[in-house]
A and B are shown apart, each in its own frame.
Chain A
């Protein structure tokens, strides 16, 4: 059996077994794909770039293109200055994007390449832009990388040009699927509020098939829009870990007030998202959204007995987990284990409050659960072996645990490498919550059907 996890828990401090995170650069690459006509560039060995592209390609099932500085031994000794200069020249000559978004790797960070001065001293074709973010792989996680590249967009592009802030809101969606970004935009349109979402990977990694290959899709936030974020009257950071820092940077740089709220996943978090908009813009929540909310709650009522008291283990990225914990609690489920691989806080990054936030939710609900940042799936598996659950939720890597312990498994988060379609469909908003409800109840009820003895096998459930 594919299970090399012993039940007995021993303290470990020599690294990670079966990670629940990956490294910063891939997050930076994903964020950069959310700029229109942008070439992400990995300043390091070519393996990094290849792995990130492979991983993103597997998750989105769409071509993911990025360039690399292709470090050699020489570059690692003498620095990667000439590699980056050559890269800038080649990227614009050959692929001709509007923007090149450079992120570092553990290698270029450690040898100490000074990206701002390299970029400044390189000739960049007129009308083109090179931006950068420092994303050392040995700090934080892919979520930190997403945050840092988004912060890079603010640093290089956001500008306050108007005296009076415009009646528009900046939305930083966090590390979510393009389907989620589309859903957030749909809600914004229904609210009738002018918005700028950045980064926005919809139309880039979920592009339609046309029989032609376009290296840069139609989607992505346009540079002029990112510039204009400096003139908005509010930034909503959806999820503190992936979006909080860039929002604060925008406040510092352009005096746009930053408000960090949860990823709008589940009834309560979606309510809070819409309320935050309503308060700031004196806009009414339209009937369509009220109706969706009512439908969602109707479904929750119709099916609450399927969920009540069910024990669940959840793992993945912190912003999603915080909202997802709140959502499963609202269904009467018991999230016994909530674990992320992303560390609580990073040097130079935001101080995370993941454990505190989730623990206080559990306490309020009277659930005695374990919560951990900087954990790994080996540990989660050991917890489950010592105290079983009825359901596991998380990315593809959970399938080993689900199989070993024979637990129903709902795939949510990044990466999902063994199922398709999910990047197109939302888990955020009221619609997304309906979809999550369907996924959770299908998993639980399929299991009930499978396990039922003939006499207990029921038509109506």
Chain B
């Protein structure tokens, strides 16, 4: 079969979004709108807001719009709960033609009434979708009235799809969380020796791994944003004395705001890979200025590293020299992945993100080898072109990239919603190596 001929040059406008390390000096263009008529792998504002807020387990997540936006996001996040399962149901106002013509406010109010009667939830998130932004429903007013009527919190999420890309959705979600955290009487709970863990969505139970590590160090997680979180825990977010951020793409803004408004300092950490996990634990102990926590962290690091050393070594021996391509959502995850691959002997030859920020792209450029291709908001043709050109054996990506890699006869691991094993901490590092091994070294590739 003939491969599709890649038009050369690809869309002229896309040139600034791609660079090869060592070749060009100019800044990579990113965080801009996608070019119309391209196969963008990107999603919308609503998507960004939904993925951040959806793991709040005991909230009613009501999507105000036609059915699609709610259908496509029904329980796709894979974030685990230790309590309520309400977040795994799909609630939509299912706007029809009449609602679009006459307005959807009444239906929205009715939907909230009916749901609140059914479920004893204290919190409702109402997501705005494209159409709501255009027909001009007053979400604020409906939510305010419903909150008063039911004496619970009904928070509008301003996530009409067209107002930006996924990053704008992260921001809309953070704004909704800030509204939730804000105390109406200005009174704040007193600080405790605990931290908020920002940007972990408890995929495959990752929050729980980190929670145990910190507990061993004598530090509690106050609340995770937003993996396995609940109304009550989020309400008490300001009790924490430190915010640590895993997924910076979605949570950097919230961390800044929490510092500005409530004086909670923040730091970036990463629990992906052995190196980053160890240094993150040490830095947290330092931040608390607590020698005892530091001592316990060292103990933990020594013990856990020893436990996984042989396993990682076993995988490294088998994976050494392979080449990986990375295409993930945020820039920070991409940075961690480069290091994590290095730990198992794999070089990254192509790396891209959907929503990376300029400073993250700079960090990536510093980390990777000469000749590595770096690209923002890539489309499948570009991914294909560079993966093939650079001789990648493996792609890390999300749902839409998986079959593309497979068709090229290339191994794949999901570092997104579909991950099935936790990839955080020491156990996660082994899982990661095992996943890479099981896809790279599967016999199926011999039959293509």
Contacts and interface: CB of A to CB of B under 8 A. Distances in A.
Contact of A211 (B5, B134, B400, B409): B409
A207 B162 CA distance: 33
A15 B67 CA distance: 9
B89 to A, nearest CB: 5
Nearest to A145: B68
Given A48-B161, A93-B11, A19 B70 contact: yes
A15 B93 contact: yes
Given A4-B86, A90-B37, A90-B38, A136 B97 contact: yes
A211 B70 contact: no
A17 B134 CA distance: 24
A19 B118 contact: no
B43 interface: yes
A67 B100 contact: no
Contacts of B90: 16-19
A364 interface: no
Determine which residue in A4, A15, A218 has the highest number of CB atoms from chain B within 10 A of its CB, and name it. A15
Contacts of B97: 136, 138-139, 347
Given A14-B114, A48-B161, A213-B3, A94 B88 contact: no
A58 B66 contact: no
Interface residues of B, number: 84
A233 interface: no
A141 B67 contact: yes
B65 interface: yes
A195 interface: no
A418 to B, nearest CB: 11
A25 interface: yes
Contacts of B131: 106-107, 110, 137-138
B2 to A, nearest CB: 7
A273 B404 CA distance: 37
Given A19-B74, A54-B400, A210 B37 contact: no
B443 to A, nearest CB: 14
A46 interface: yes
Interface string B55-78: 000000010011111111110000
Contacts of B93: 14-16
A290 B399 CA distance: 43
A71 interface: yes
B34 interface: yes
Contacts of B162: 44-45, 71-73, 75-76, 107
Nearest to B111: A14
Contacts of A93: 7, 11
A23 B67 contact: yes
Interface residues of A, number: 86
B89 A212 contact: no
A18 B94 CA distance: 11
B40 A50 contact: yes
Contacts of A207: 407
B307 to A, nearest CB: 33
Interface in B348-396: 380-381, 384
Contacts of B119: 4
Contact of A70 (B5, B40, B69): B40
Given A54-B399, A106-B130, A95 B1 contact: no
Contact of A105 (B43, B99, B130): B130
A47 to B, nearest CB: 2
A212 B72 CA distance: 29
Contact of A137 (B38, B68, B86): B68
B65 A106 contact: yes
A19 B94 contact: yes
B145 interface: no
B161 A47 contact: yes
Contacts of A341: 67
A87 B34 CA distance: 11
B33 interface: yes
Nearest to A85: B36
Interface string A118-145: 0000000000000000001111010000
A433 B158 CA distance: 48
A347 B39 CA distance: 32
Given A65-B380, A93-B11, A107-B130, A210 B448 contact: yes
A299 B91 CA distance: 43
Given A10-B118, A52-B72, A54-B72, 11 more contacts: A23-B68, A45-B162, A46-B44, A51-B73, A72-B164, A76-B130, A84-B36, A137-B67, A138-B66, A210-B448, A214-B4
23 contacts: A4-B88, A6-B118, A13-B110, A14-B110, A15-B94, A16-B70, A17-B115, A19-B90, A25-B68, A44-B130, A47-B130, A48-B44, A51-B69, A68-B34, A68-B36, A69-B37, A70-B34, A86-B35, A94-B38, A106-B68, A106-B129, A110-B131, A209-B407
Which 10 pairs between the two chains have the least Cβ-Cβ distance?
A: A47-B44, A23-B68, A90-B37, A14-B111, A87-B37, A14-B110, A45-B161, A22-B71, A137-B66, A51-B72
Interface of A: 1-4, 6, 10, 12-19, 21-23, 25-26, 41, 44-55, 57-58, 61-73, 75-76, 83-84, 86-91, 93-96, 105-107, 110-111, 136-139, 141, 207, 209-216, 218, 341, 347, 378, 397, 400
